[in-house]
Amino acid sequence: MHLELENIRKVYDQKVAVDNLSLSVPKGVIYGIIGPNGAGKTTTIRMIMNIIAPDSGRVTFDGKKSNIAFLERVGYLPEERGLYKNMTLREVITYMAELKGCPRKTTATRISPWLTKMGLIEYIDQKVEELSKGMQQKLQFVTTLIHEPDIIILDELFSGLDPINVELIRGVLMDLKREGKTILFSTHVMEQAEKLCDYICMISSGIKVLDGTMSEIKSQFGKNALHVEIKGDGSFINGLPGVAGLTEYSNYLEIKLAENANTQLILSKLVEKVEVRRFEIAESSLYEIFISMAHIDPKELEDKARVANV
């Protein structure tokens, strides 16, 4: 199913939440929407789902506007999680599937395999309220997929999940992609977006500032980063000529290079004070790109939006 957004716009109390946003999400891909808090990601998803209507522009699926029949083909996981806590897992899954037009007999054959996959099978006849927050999140993920939707829309999917369950969800998403499903999700977890997504869109202040395949986006920034593994305190590097920015971890540095930076000089200064275990000239990570783009003055975003929408 091909999702198309054409110049959608939404204004709340004279504040522009989403400004003339256009996206094209091909069938059978994983498409990530990233951006700072308040950027307009959730508003965009709610307009896709027809929960709120755009003030202008339109949203189409395979060239047609959404209707009730279409909504039965969508799996939607909202940012605000919500399950009926006095129901058992079996009951809540059956009920949610029925809302999407999936017959009870069909659902009954799917529940155990899904709960087994998500590590929840032993709780099948326990009430939702007896589950931990993370388990409830996995359960809601199951309710999103139980009717076997063609397009899957997930708002902040990875929020609150531990690394083991993030990896579990990642595997499920890859399986769904191989089945030809279209997956659109918003996230703040840049590492997962970078590894999972075929396409990325970044929104800031309601305006699209980046859109394309992961390789296209990275190529815009070139090989303007150093990834350095060290032993010692590398914070001093931030003041050196040629260093435009520094993201520092305990034993790892991501250095943003200024134009015409002398990487050999930076390396020589590093080895004077710390043990260098790895030194690599690399493309900027999605995390670095996110940080650099998120701090652009809003007045500059309109020019970037015009370029992105060409």
Task: Tell me the angle at which helices 214-221 and 286-294 cross, rounded to the nearest 10 degrees.
Answer: 60
Residues of the chain with CATH 3.30.70: 223-282
Provide the pLDDT confidence category of residue 199 given band limits of 50, 70 and 90. Answer: very high
Residue 8 has pLDDT above 80, yes or no: yes
Ordered alpha helix ranges (H), 2-64? 41-48
* The CATH fold of domain 223-282: Alpha-Beta Plaits (3.30.70)
Residue 107 has pLDDT above 80, yes or no: yes
pLDDT for the residue 143: 96
- Residue 187 contacts residue 193 (beta carbons within 8 Å): yes
Query: Which of 29, 30, 78, 44 lies closest to 206, judged by CA?
Result: 44
Q: List 205's β-bridge partners, or say none.
A: none
Give the model confidence (pLDDT) of 11-46 as tens digits. 998 899 999 999 999 999 999 999 888 889 999 999
CB atoms within 10 A of CB 235: 10
Residues of the chain with CATH 3.40.50.300: 3-218
Q: Which of 188 and 170 is assigned the larger pLDDT?
A: 170
**Averaged pLDDT, 54-80:** 85
- Residue 232's alpha-carbon distances to 241, 244, 252, 274, 278, in angstroms, are 20, 21, 10, 5, 13
User: How far is it, in rounded angstroms, from Cα 214 to Cα 201?
Assistant: 9
Query: Which of 5, 65, 2 lies closest to 208, judged by CA?
Result: 5
Give the model confidence (pLDDT) of 203-241 as tens digits. 988 999 899 998 888 888 777 889 999 999 988 988 889
**Averaged pLDDT, 283-306:** 68
Architecture (CATH level 2) of domain 3-218: 3-Layer(aba) Sandwich (3.40)
56-61 β-sheet, strand order = 15-25, 3-12, 56-61
**Averaged pLDDT, 70-82:** 84
What is the reported pTM? 0.81
Helix (H/G/I), strand (E/B), else coil: 228: strand
User: How far is it, in rounded angstroms, from Cα 224 to Cα 232?
Assistant: 23
Give the model confidence (pLDDT) of 243-252 as tens digits. 988 888 889 9
Give the model confidence (pLDDT) of 114-169 as tens digits. 999 999 999 999 999 999 988 999 999 999 999 999 999 999 888 878 989 999 99
